[in-house]
Amino acid sequence: MLARDANALLVDVRTRPEWTFVGVPDLTSVGKMPILLSWQVFPDMNLATDFTQRLADAVPSREAPILFLCRSGARSRAAAAAMAAQGYSRCFNVSDGFEGNLDADRHRGQAAGWKAAGLPWMQD
């Protein structure tokens, strides 16, 4: 979708430490950059009360396809639902997130998610 639709956007709702230490999707091959906008505020992890307003300011079109991504799909699902409730008609959750769930060895990024799928990513 990101490659096929010029209006499609990826919103990474993880926290700054996750972006810095775990990495972010690399969308340069499709000529885009992810929008980095935390759903929760680190370190207390309370909901970012201004999330919907900040994203609405960044994405005025309520018809633009928006893919939401977090670590494993839970925060991004909540963010997608919040934006759908604000009238955004094409919100999608990247269900396995950037790292996916824990594998048998209790590690992320190996069994599912953006990284495990071999999609491009980069680290700060």
**Model confidence pLDDT, tens digit, residues 92-106:** 999 999 999 888 888
**1 assigned to some structural domain:** no
Closest CA to 15 of 70, 56, 59: 70
pTM for the model stands at 0.94
**13 assigned to some structural domain:** yes
Q: Domain of 33?
A: 9-122
What is the spatial distance between Cα 103 and Cα 10, in angstroms, rounded to a whole number?
A: 25
**112 assigned to some structural domain:** yes
**104 assigned to some structural domain:** yes
Quote the DSSP letter at residue 29. Answer: G
Assign residue 71 the CATH number of its domain: 3.40.250.10
| Confidence at 111, pLDDT banded by 50, 70, 90 | confident
**111 assigned to some structural domain:** yes
**2 assigned to some structural domain:** no
Q: How many domains does the chain have?
A: 1
| Confidence at 108, pLDDT banded by 50, 70, 90 | confident
What is the spatial distance between Cα 90 and Cα 16, in angstroms, rounded to a whole number?
A: 26
**3 assigned to some structural domain:** no
